[in-house]
Amino acid sequence: MINNISTFSIVACDLKSQAWGIAVASKFPAVGAVVPWVRAKAGAVATQANANTTYGPRGLEMMAGGLSAEETLEKLLSHDREREHRQVGLVDANGKSASFTGKSCFEWAGGLTGPGYAIQGNILAGPEVIQKMEHAFLESRGELPERLFAALDAGNRAGGDRRGRQSAAILVVKPNAGYGGHNDRWMDYRVDDHLNPIARLEELIELHRLYFGKSPKSERVMLEGKVVKDIQKIMKGLGYYTPTDGEYDDATRQAFSAFVGNENFEERADPDKGWIDGPVLEYLMKKFAAGDKQR
């Protein structure tokens, strides 16, 4: 037997956007390395408690082959002698869900299911943890990652793992949503050991939006006046050759191009047209504000 992974998790999908994902937290190190298993157009599996990690790849293979979440769950459990020590949640390619909590899982343990989601946890503060998670998921708006995190955060606020906090993770896939469109890994972040892992996970999700999101044209800020002068001061302090006169001239444009490239924001600014996305400008001003004051 391996150590029991006291965990609360949500497995869910958004069929409209063809996304599947899992958010999970635990008083256990690196929960993201054990619990979440997801494949685009197949489904998602969370395996926890006395976790049988073969449930992940085997379950995804079965659902990719056309089995429902319930049928897959039955097959996974059928020959497992330790099934009463397992906890697992599944969502299949069609949004059907299933959850299982073995009789030997440590209290409080249980799960909830609905169209497109399965929520489960063990060694929890009480049933209110998964109840609050369900409510948050159903009531929240936005894309699947935001809804998954809302559920995880609600479970944490309701008491979460009664032993405490240590790690958290989110894994979401949809076709061609990965970097450069070359894979399906839309969002994949882990906090393996932290005093407040869910808060740190939220920060990582915000960074993901910042680096990989896109703002509407209405949020673009033109590089002129005080905006240019403030950016020029930051760039000069960082060693880029540029004046600090508030003019967006060729030297400033070249420096700005190198600056946003080094900060990995090439997709959220256009040096030639002279604009930057508002959220990115705000982030850069905050990031370099302290250093700018010291210069």
What is the per-residue pLDDT for 242?
77
Mean pLDDT of the chain: 94
pLDDT in tens, 108-161: 999 999 999 999 999 999 999 999 999 999 999 999 999 999 999 999 999 999
Which residue from 176, 169, 41 is spatially nearest to 95, judged by alpha carbons? 41
For residue 243, what pLDDT band results from cuts at 50, 70 and 90?
confident
* Domain boundaries, given as residue ranges, for the chain: 7-212, 217-294
Phi-psi region of 225 (alpha: psi -120 to 50; beta: other; left: phi over 0): left
pLDDT in tens, 6-15: 799 999 999 9
Rounded Cα distance between 135 and 117, Å, is 12
What is the per-residue pLDDT for 223?
96
- Asked if 161 contacts 6 with a C-beta cutoff of 8 angstroms, the reply is yes
What is the per-residue pLDDT for 289?
77
Mean pLDDT, residues 24-32: 96
Mean pLDDT, residues 272-290: 92
Q: Distances in Å between the alpha carbon of 246 and those of 3, 109, 216, 224, 228?
A: 60, 61, 25, 7, 5
**Which fold, 7-212?**
Glutamine Phosphoribosylpyrophosphate, subunit 1, domain 1 (3.60.20)
Please give the share of the chain, as a percent, with pLDDT higher than 70: 96
DSSP string over the chain: -PPPB-EEEEEEEETTTTEEEEEEEESSTTGGGTSEEEETTTEEEEEEES--TTHHHHHHHHHHTT--HHHHHHHHHHT-TTGGGEEEEEEETTS-EEEEE-TTSPSS-EEEEETTEEEEESSBS-THHHHHHHHHHHH--SSHHHHHHHHHHHHHHTT-BTT---EEEEEEE-TT-SGGGSSSEEEEEEE-S-SSHHHHHHHHHHHHHHHH----GGGEEES-HHHHHHHHHHHHHTT-----SS---HHHHHHHHHHHHHTT-GGGEETTTTEEEHHHHHHHHHHHHHHHHH-
Cα-to-chain-centroid distance, residue 134: 17
pLDDT > 70? residue 293: no
pLDDT > 60? residue 290: no
Rounded Cα distance between 295 and 188, Å, is 37
pLDDT in tens, 81-110: 999 999 999 999 999 999 999 999 999 999
Rounded Cα distance between 138 and 151, Å, is 9
Mean pLDDT, residues 43-70: 98
Mean pLDDT, residues 29-55: 97
Question: In this structure, what token pair is assigned to residue 65?
Answer: 């082959």
What is the per-residue pLDDT for 3?
59
| Burial class of residue 291 (count of CB atoms within 10 Å of its CB; 0-12, 13-18, 19+) | exposed
pLDDT in tens, 178-202: 988 999 999 999 999 999 999 999 9
What is the per-residue pLDDT for 180?
86
